[in-house]
Amino acid sequence: MTQHPPKNLREQVKVAPYTTMRVGGPCDFFAEVDDVAGVAAACEWAGEQEIEVFVLGEGSNVIVSDAGLHRLVLKIEIPGFEVIDEDDESATLQIGAGEHWDHVVERAVKLDLAGIEAMSMIPGTAGATPVQNAGAYGQEIANTLVEVQAYDRLIHKMATLNREECGFGYRDSAFKGAMSGRYVIVGVTLKLSKQPPAEPTYASLKRYLEAQDIHKPNVAQIRSAVMAVRARILPDPSVVPNAGSFFKNPIVNKRELDRLRLPYPDMPAFEFGDDYKLAAGWLLDQCGLKGAEHYGLKLHSGHALVITNPNHAGYADLMKLVEYVVAVVYDRFGVTLEPEPQFIT
């Protein structure tokens, strides 16, 4: 059966305004979908036309090439927030992929549910959180996710993937790797706890809570603390274009850490399984990159890990800056930084 084009299909739409970094040329086709049937129909139409599909949420973790995309950009706007199961210990939430993530956290916290409160103010949609296993202040989506509902473009059917099938790693999942391009996430199921939340271990949060004389904080207090701390150091993407943390924290083994700590005994490192996680922001600070401006872009003065794009520089300039930063850090420490956002060309 020949599929109709998606509703409100537009052609030659500039992608930059749909990303928080404000980088990206025109795509051949653009459509917004707000239900599962719309996702399936759009994917089938694109398949018939032999057009690649690129799935977009709020564009907070993608960098799109200025050359444009010969693809259908499918912007997911599927709503939904429902408690589908609960007992004395926990509640299970069904969430539409298009929900603004922070609204999900806000509503969960209002229900006094624990598990995602530290992930307050992470920009983007709920459906994007499994893709990079979004996380902050010791919580990550993999900890509370029960399953992902997705349209499987390979077999043209809806599928559910459990936590193991998502292949989660540190700020990583199989949606970025082996399963890249196969699934369009339409919903996520989370299981949150009715128990008191885990106490924050991150120094900035602890300091903030202590200053407020809050001990054993509840979920609302942790959310407020995260929001206050983040607002102090991170630029608001609706004001200054940026894609959040631009580099992942490097993971090194003990031998590598010992090598690094010989000349830099104060280098922060956190146990990570058998390995150690370095703080990418600290490495950038040591290289004097906080606040540095190159190629029209800037490493944020409040937090060097965030590259800001105040003058709406293009993809090529951003790539030059990334190359420069990676080289400077490598020359100083022998550690290779890896970008966190996905580059779409």
Rounded to whole angstroms, how far apart are CA atoms 275 and 273? Answer: 5
Taking CB under 6 A as the rule, does residue 201 contact ligand NAP?
Answer: yes
DSSP 259-308: HHHTT-TT--EEEETTEEEE-HHHHHHHTT-TT-EETTEEE-SS-TTEEE
Of 107 and 290, the one with the shorter C-beta distance to ligand NAP is 290
Pick one of 133, 245, 308, 309: the residue that binds ligand NAP (CB under 6 A): 245
Nearer to ligand NAP, 141 or 148 (CB): 141
Among 249, 252, 283, 333, binds ligand NAP (CB under 6 A): 249
The distance in angstroms from the start CA to the end CA of the chain is 31
- Contact flag: residue 193 with ligand NAP (CB under 6 A): no
Question: How many binding residues for ligand NAP (CB under 6 A)?
Answer: 16
State the Rg of the chain over Cα: 21
Stretch that binds ligand NAP, among 12-20, 69-77, 182-190, 275-283 (CB under 6 A): 275-283
Q: Which of 171, 173, 223, 256 is catalytic?
A: 171
As measured in angstroms, the least distance from the Cβ of 302 to ligand NAP is 9
CA atoms within 13 A on the CB side of 241: 21
- Check the CA dihedral 258-260-262-264 and report its sign: negative
Alpha-carbon torsion angle 84, 131, 179, 57, nearest 10: 90
Choice among 120, 173, 224, 245 that is catalytic: 245
Q: Is 264 in the site for ligand NAP (CB under 6 A)?
A: no
User: What part of residues 209-238 is at the interface with ligand NAP (CB under 6 A)?
Assistant: 233-234
CA 32 to chain centre: 20
Q: Does the annotation mark 332 as catalytic?
A: no
Known active-site residue 171: yes
- Quote the least distance from Cβ 233 to ligand NAP, whole Å: 6
- Which backbone phi and psi does 32 adopt, to 5 degrees? -100, 135
- The catalytically annotated residue of 32, 77, 140, 340 is 340
Residue 202 binds to ligand NAP (criterion: CB under 6 A): yes
For position 204 contacting ligand NAP by CB under 6 A, the verdict is: yes
Known catalytic membership, residue 147: no
Longest dimension (CA), the chain: 67
Burial class, 169, CB count within 10 angstroms (exposed 0-12 / middle 13-18 / buried 19+) = middle
Whose structure tokens read 């190359």?
A: 323
Which residues are at the interface with ligand NAP (CB under 6 A)? 136-138, 201-202, 204, 233-234, 244-245, 249, 270, 277, 279, 281, 305
Catalytic residue ranges: 171, 245, 340
